[in-house]
Structure 1
């Protein structure tokens, strides 16, 4: 069962309630562009996961079938309890090393790039974590945890983590000693030096207390959210590539072949000495910290939000169809999602070429629908083509109206 798919309506219900709490308490924990960027990263992660999750599933199933030391019964409650605890222990080390090694941070950094902290941040997930993430859970397969149990406790662990991404819940007394809470997870998302690289557990905080990585949220040290090398973009594709690009650039610039190789596996932030000397990086000054923002008119914001809803619905449909989609269909669906979210990101950044890209994206829906029909993803009957024509017409009218009502201004984002 795909627990994440069934949880999607509840995610957005709780986000709506948090927005109401924002208004009621006079807080401002949401910005439209930041929230859309987080949600776009989540949609992209789920869409690409249709193709990439097979890596972890196949390796786990192979290890369980050929290397399992014990035979554990999936019908036993104690096996489920054991697996739930064991998974969180493995998650702790996956998460911790995701902060302590360059190549692992390149994947995990996506989740930390938001400079706001709200429930939409919880859905901000990586699309490249599959590359190494599977390694950390192989001990569960060797012990004999059945794949069905593994997948289920993994989903439950992820679902638990949703509610802790909020600023509206204070410390929770004794609960803080055993479990991950909004307070100790706010610490995890901070870029303050005292808070950085702390509180790695998914469900249980006890691992952090045992292994010396726990840090309490302090009243005298307000949390500053985000990463020390800001993303400075609303593009979910660039969010997934930024750190990889930086590592590749440093590796390419280094004169040492040994440094070019080891940079990927060195502690986070490590750079070859010759590169660091020639291309120094400034340390973030949190006393002058300003959140990344690109001014947008109300019409531009509404257009972006409505276009995102289309891709949210499309991405949800892809998840629902995962069991019947062919590999070609999955790749086609991923391409459609990636193009759309990239275009929305460019629009939110107020790029000078964003309107031309939007026109290209809208027109690309026609051949993509024809391909989807050809590969059996859906039956493109008259009603489907009529619906698409209506969507394109309304989008073009909206695009024309927004263009008339606003002018393209300077962007604060660096060229991508």
Structure 2
């Protein structure tokens, strides 16, 4: 996790450079709401990861200590190289099954929901992947890859994948044959039928070539990004729950108990026959594809951006301090971050009650801080109280100003956004 923490400034530096490239080349690969939604999902993932990372840590360490067949030394370079390649092989199967089984897709779908494709999309990560993800890497523990090596190569694999989420880099010749590149990863994020469920590797494209899941990006078939049943929301919490909710609803509707159980592990998009007949789901027509968009005034957009910056800084602080905080403090911080990011998402959706929810969030700041101090979760001092009180007051003034000016450009834009659908197809 330390690798990710140190990489954060570089991530945002490169995002800034990509925005400049957008302007220079006359492209529009960013929309504010979509980018904030992707980044919010990333902040939520890292914040909750402070709590959930223990699942992967403990299971891997236990398997390595008690079940390892060989003793591999972290002091040997070949062990690191072997682990780097082996990790990507395990990642390929984790990623592939994440597209091919309902419950695994429920976790992974978050990363694919953006209808734009840019470097912010790389940071759009799941908060629930820890539930099953650890299983796929146990073979590394069984062959004796030390935990330090495993977690290091895992971080390096994740960092490599950042740069391939861009539309500004064309095909790279021979490099395309060996490694994941922006071109073949654009294919992976497409909802075009010819591209779907292809190019699963993290660093190496060789696995896809070996196991028959490779697809080249075609000039005659422009990529349409996103999922076939769109998220239609800017709420990062709903982004993580949407597919689970759809599966749960279909399971309840099924008349057969066997269908209620197996729906979770069936191929992605599978639904019980009786449920599919009574509640059909229409597929999107890509010939008339339109990205999800909610009209929002400039002032309201600036307010959302500034609020996100505050929560980004809070998320970075939590990532840096998480190992030193009491479990209660981490849990409270995660709830605070989740509440704030959800509020930003509702605001971006221009919900009729978003302003009231935002007022409630701001009013809860000081009581939550008092609770943390009263329970000895955090070291309280005048500076902390002053910063949070100042932030809440300035935010309240900004909220009042935006409400007075108007959140959207015209009265017709003030209608509540459509409710996001419950669905679980790729």
TM-score, scaled relative to structure 1: 0.99
The answer to whether the 8 Å contact 2:351/2:417 transfers is no
TM-superposed CA distance for 1:376, in Å, is 4.1
Partner of 1:188: 188
Pairwise mapping of residues 122-133 of structure 1 onto structure 2 (< 5 A)?
122-133=122-133
Partner of 2:416: 411
Distance in 2 separating the partners of 1:309 and 1:401: 19
TM-superposed CA distance for 1:382, in Å, is 1.4
CA RMSD of aligned residues (A): 1.0
Distance in 2 separating the partners of 1:30 and 1:354: 24
Partner of 2:74: 74
SS of the aligned residue for 1:221 comes to coil
Partner of 1:92: 92
Partner of 1:36: 36
The answer to whether the 8 Å contact 2:63/2:141 transfers is yes
Distance in 1 separating the partners of 2:18 and 2:301: 20
Distance in 2 separating the partners of 1:60 and 1:379: 33
Partner of 1:272: 272
Deviation by residue 1:263-310 (Cα, 9 ceiling, x = unmatched): 000000000000000000111110010000000000000000000001
Deviation by residue 1:15-61 (Cα, 9 ceiling, x = unmatched): 00000000000000000000000000000000001111111111101
Distance in 1 separating the partners of 2:66 and 2:109: 34
Runs of 4+ deviating beyond 4 Å: none
Pairwise mapping of residues 133-152 of structure 1 onto structure 2 (< 5 A)?
133-152=133-152
The answer to whether the 8 Å contact 1:294/1:411 transfers is no
Distance in 2 separating the partners of 1:262 and 1:415: 25
Would you say 1:257 and 2:262 are equivalent positions? no
Distance in 2 separating the partners of 1:274 and 1:383: 60
Pairwise mapping of residues 16-415 of structure 1 onto structure 2 (< 5 A)?
16-407=16-407, 409-414=414-419
Distance in 1 separating the partners of 2:48 and 2:71: 33
SS of the aligned residue for 1:85 comes to helix
Partner of 2:424: none
Distance in 1 separating the partners of 2:47 and 2:22: 30
TM-score, scaled relative to structure 2: 0.96
Distance in 2 separating the partners of 1:413 and 1:203: 38
TM-superposed CA distance for 1:377, in Å, is 4.4
TM-superposed CA distance for 1:373, in Å, is 2.2
SS of the aligned residue for 2:230 comes to coil
TM-superposed CA distance for 1:415, in Å, is 5.8
The answer to whether the 8 Å contact 2:90/2:136 transfers is yes
The answer to whether the 8 Å contact 2:96/2:200 transfers is yes
Distance in 2 separating the partners of 1:396 and 1:268: 44
The answer to whether the 8 Å contact 2:231/2:420 transfers is no
TM-superposed CA distance for 1:375, in Å, is 4.1
Unpaired runs of 5+ residues, structure 1, are none
Distance in 2 separating the partners of 1:147 and 1:42: 24
SS of the aligned residue for 2:322 comes to coil
Distance in 1 separating the partners of 2:417 and 2:168: 30
User: Judging changes above 3 Å, is the alpha-carbon distance between structure 1 residues 169 and 377 closer, same or farther for their aligned structure 2 residues?
Assistant: farther
Distance in 2 separating the partners of 1:101 and 1:134: 16
The answer to whether the 8 Å contact 1:36/1:305 transfers is yes
SS of the aligned residue for 2:324 comes to coil
Number of residues of Structure 1 aligned to a counterpart in Structure 2: 416
Distance in 2 separating the partners of 1:305 and 1:376: 32
Distance in 2 separating the partners of 1:258 and 1:331: 36
TM-superposed CA distance for 1:393, in Å, is 1.4
Unpaired runs of 5+ residues, structure 2, are 409-413, 422-426
The answer to whether the 8 Å contact 1:293/1:412 transfers is no
SS of the aligned residue for 2:360 comes to helix
Deviation by residue 1:162-198 (Cα, 9 ceiling, x = unmatched): 0000000000000000000000000000000000000
SS of the aligned residue for 1:215 comes to coil
TM-superposed CA distance for 1:380, in Å, is 2.2
SS of the aligned residue for 2:195 comes to coil
SS of the aligned residue for 1:225 comes to coil
Distance in 1 separating the partners of 2:258 and 2:386: 59
Distance in 2 separating the partners of 1:144 and 1:364: 48
Distance in 2 separating the partners of 1:374 and 1:149: 40
- Greater shift, 327-336 or 19-28, is seen at 327-336
